[in-house]
């Protein structure tokens, strides 16, 4: 059962990446400033990114989260107290989207800009 759940999570993560539009370069973290929420409204995940790249929010499981996004060479990464990984920025249907993918392969989160 655990194996099936793991396979499903990997497939869903890959599907989210495949569905996204072309990645936009992230020249600096100021371009990501604002409020973001989980796509589709199924999850309560949401974050507020500050101009310096620091963020705070609520994870999908309801836990509060804080971290920092850094950018270099057009790519971005994130670091929080309990996870790290990559951040990609794209547009879908005229909306800005962020995809956080954990480096340990344990999940991803897709968020849309709300402000």
Task: Tell me which range, 10-24, 29-43, 86-100, is most confidently predicted by mean pLDDT.
Answer: 86-100
Report pLDDT for 60: 76
How do residues 35-93 score in pLDDT, each as one tens digit?
A: 999 976 567 789 999 999 999 998 878 889 999 999 999 999 999 988 999 999 999 99
Residue 21: band (very low, low, confident or very high) from pLDDT cuts 50, 70, 90: low
The reported pTM is 0.75
Residue that the structure tokens 């509060």 belong to = 64
Question: Which has more pLDDT, 29 or 109?
Answer: 29
Report the first-to-last Cα separation within the chain, whole angstroms: 40
Sign of the torsion formed by the C-alpha atoms of 74, 71, 99 and 52: negative
Tokens 């996004």 belong to 69
């Amino acid at each position: 059962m655990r194996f099936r759940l793991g396979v499903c999570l990997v497939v869903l993560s890959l599907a989210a990446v495949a569905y996204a539009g072309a990645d936009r370069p992230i020249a600096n973290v100021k371009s990501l400033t604002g409020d973001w929420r989980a796509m589709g409204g199924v999850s309560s995940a949401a974050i507020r990114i500050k101009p310096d790249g620091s963020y705070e929010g609520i994870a999908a499981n309801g836990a509060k989260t804080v971290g920092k996004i850094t950018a270099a060479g057009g790519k971005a990464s994130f670091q929080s107290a309990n996870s790290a990984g990559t951040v990609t920025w794209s547009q879908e249907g005229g909306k800005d989207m962020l995809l956080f993918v954990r480096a340990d392969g344990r999940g991803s989160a897709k968020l849309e800009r709300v402000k």
